[in-house]
Amino acid sequence: MAKEVVRQYLPLMDEEGRGAATDDGLGRDRHYLPDTPEEDPYQAGHRTCAGCGPAIEYRWVLKAAGQDTVVAGPTGCMYVANSTYLCTPYTVPWAHTPIASGGSFTAGMAAGYEALIRKGRHPGPYPNIITMSGDGSAADIGLGPISGALYRNHDALFICYDNECYANTGIQVSPTTPYAGMTTFTPFGKAIPEGTRLPPKNLARMMAEGHPHCYVATATVGYPVDLMNKTRKGLNHRGAAFMHCFTPCQKGWVYQTSMTVEIGRRVVEAGLFPVWEYDPEQRKYHYFHPPVQRPVTDYLAMQGRFGHMLPEHIANVQQQANRNWETIGMDVPAELREGEDPERHRRLREETYSMPLNRGVGA
């Protein structure tokens, strides 16, 4: 007789808790961390760059998932830099897949565990099954297999760690590279002064709209508790879940190494990466409303990849951010509306600074 497939339940962490006591004055509970699990299935000893956003994401996701987890990693930085010959930083089973196959490999793992447990050949419980693909893999080369796995509703969490480029092969443009983000395949010049001309593919929306029975969420490394809780919600969800996580790439984006988490917050506060959850039962989006709204320059000026931007390009990005604020149901303050005018940005050409002043609206 077929055995029952027992699922695990991972409790959520308190997102408020001690946060109130560590407010940084801007309403941001920056230093707040709940009592996170001590175990670290992604250990020290990997070989990613200092300040690597994807490595931070891997660590928090696996901390949230715990030891009873299996992971698949398609080709990309987080395969190459993490698996030098005979050595990985994982204390959980991990497998490399070809760059196109994260979705199909993980679907196979999920179906395999179900079958083995039912037949009594694996004692269970059903493990946490996670695949973490780069944006080149998830949004481009391996998009089809992930979409197929979501459609068939395999019980696993499919994550795209998004560093907005094909990093491992030398920072080439990917479908999630933002407008005006410079890459080695989109250098700026006289013909194309903005570098990257196209808007980024809205991967998470595609996944939510296209697979309405799946749990879908966006997250950034700027909000670790939120990231860990969404990992747990995705794993607790019975069926397929997809998470799109914004993960700065220190090497490709050219910024101060220690600023990875700060950039992960500023992108949200600048309105350029809305953080939300899609609830498949209600078929509704739940948007996070950041307590601070900043001009996009507070985000752009931190990164060398945007250093070539002209006033009209910055105005275009502010327009895009303002539309995002409207989409998530927030008012657009007058200062941010004024930022849609290129004239307002002309003066920035004259200014040189490595870190922007804090000009957050409401700060």
With residue 133 as reference, give the H or E element that holds it.
strand 128-134
SS3 state of residue 284 = strand
Stretch that binds ligand TPP, among 3-11, 76-84, 190-198, 310-318 (CB under 6 A): 76-84
Site residues (CB under 6 A) for ligand TPP, limited to 96-135: 99-100, 134-135
Pick 97 or 316: Cβ nearer ligand TPP: 97
Stretch 128-157 residues interacting with ligand TPP (CB under 6 A): 134-137, 141
Q: Which residue spans within 141-287 are E strands per DSSP?
A: 157-162, 215-220, 241-246, 276-279, 284-287
Alpha carbon distance 152, 126 (integer Å)? 18
> Does residue 76 interact with ligand TPP by CB under 6 A?
yes
Binding to ligand TPP by CB under 6 A, coded x per residue (else -) over 156-195, reads: -------x-xxxxx----x---------------------
Binding mask 222-251 for ligand SF4 (x = CB under 6 A): ---------------------------xxx
Cα–Cα distance, 324 to 344 (Å, whole number):
20
How many residues bind ligand TPP (CB under 6 A)? The answer is: 19
Q: Is 178 in the site for Mg ion (CB under 5 A)?
A: no
Residue whose C-alpha is closest to residue 297's, from 242, 258, 345, 229:
345
Name the amino acid, one letter, at 203.
L
Six-digit token pair at 105? 């490999």
- Least distance CB 167 / Mg ion (angstroms): 5
To ligand SF4, the closest distance from the beta carbon of 222 in angstroms equals 16
Q: For ligand TPP, give the closer residue by CB, 168 or 322.
A: 168
- Which DSSP symbol is given to 278? E
Indicate if the alpha-carbon torsion angle 19, 287, 284, 111 is positive or negative.
negative
Q: Which of 129, 157, 167, 216 binds ligand SF4 (CB under 6 A)?
A: 167
Secondary structure class of 21 (helix, strand, coil): helix
Q: Are 274 and 241 in contact (CB under 8 A)?
A: no
Shortest-Cβ-distance residue relative to ligand TPP: 134
Burial class (CB in 10 A: 0-12, 13-18, 19+), 79: buried
Of 115-174, binders to Mg ion (CB under 5 A) are 134-136, 163, 167
| Residues at the contact surface with ligand SF4, assessed by CB under 6 A | 48-49, 52, 54, 77, 81, 163, 167, 249-252
The footprint of ligand TPP (CB under 6 A) covers: 54, 75-78, 99-100, 134-137, 141, 163, 165-169, 174
